[in-house]
Amino acid sequence: MKSALSRWFAVITFCVSVAANASPSAQQLLEASDAIRNPGKPFSLTTTLIEFHQGRQTDQNILSVYSKIDPDNGQYRSLVHFDAPARDVDKLLLKNGLDLWFYDPSSQASVRISPQQRLLGQAANGDVVTVNWAHDYTPSLAGEEDIADGDRQTKHCYKLALVARSPEATYHAIDLWLDSATMRPVKARFYAESGTLLKVSYFRRFQEELGAVRPTEIVIIDGLDPGWVTVMRYSNYAWRDIPDSWMQREYLARFKPN
């Protein structure tokens, strides 16, 4: 609860600074954006990943995601259950701290995996767990500019340059554009340590979910071949009472979705 209150306090502080005509800091901007992307209390949702190549669908995954904030560090812990396709049913991903584990019921084994590894299409393992970027990245304000959003509408945005605080972060660096009027994420560019552009994402279909207007779709475009596109859609948001036991590696073999 303390972490949730702290996040809401960060949003209130940001709004007060704007009302006072003070320039918000890069950290305030990022924290305000995080609060829009992520609910502050334990929740669940359904994530549907759809991969396209040259406009034609090639694959799809459906996942149930359960997330709650770790009161010790303010970062999210997430359990991801594979609902479809049939070949992947009951597989699990667990994010606890900086550790990411994959559990396969066929072998009844859990192995540590990289958040950078692709799960489906352009979506990496680290993209489907809930993450507070303000914890994982050091932001700086790179200016303001007008850009086209995912619906080709012009938005005046703050541009933030994010650099990973740890090599365990999913991306080495991120350029993030936030709507200057609402702090909603508009666009992001993700980079490898070499400086290679890995992907470009657009945040779309904002709607009221669990007390805030949040993006319910992210379009991810491959940084090298824009013909490859992955769409992440979020649905079935719900507040959940998530037991701490679900977030332990030792519990994965006993987990049953409900």
Residue-wise pLDDT for 101-120, tens only, equals: 999 999 999 999 999 999 99
| Region 226-245 average pLDDT | 97
Give residue-wise pLDDT tens across range 33-49: 999 999 999 999 999 99
Q: Are 39 and 8 in contact (CB under 8 A)?
A: no
Confidence at residue 18, expressed as pLDDT on a 0 to 100 scale: 46
Confidence at residue 1, expressed as pLDDT on a 0 to 100 scale: 44
Q: For the chain, what percentages of helix, strand and coil (3-state, to nearest 5) are there?
A: 20, 50, 30
> Could you tell me the pLDDT band of residue 65, with boundaries at 50, 70 and 90?
very high
Give residue-wise pLDDT tens across range 158-193: 999 999 999 989 999 999 999 999 999 999 999 999
DSSP state of 19: H
CA 84, 204, 226, 136 dihedral sign is negative
CATH of residue 76: 2.50.20.10
Question: How many domains does the structure of the chain reveal?
Answer: 1
| Region 120-147 average pLDDT | 95
Residue 6 predicted with pLDDT over 60? no
> Could you tell me the pLDDT band of residue 19, with boundaries at 50, 70 and 90?
very low
Confidence at residue 22, expressed as pLDDT on a 0 to 100 scale: 67
Give the integer Cα–Cα distance in Å for 38 and 130.
7
Domain range enclosing 72:
2-254
Backbone angles phi, psi at 33, to 5 degrees: -70, -40
Residue 17 predicted with pLDDT over 50? no
Higher pLDDT, 4 or 79: 79
pTM above 0.85, yes or no: yes
Higher pLDDT, 78 or 24: 78
Q: Can you state the angle between helices 26-37 and 2-19, rounded to 10 degrees?
A: 120
Q: Are 167 and 154 in contact (CB under 8 A)?
A: no
| Region 49-77 average pLDDT | 95
Confidence at residue 72, expressed as pLDDT on a 0 to 100 scale: 85
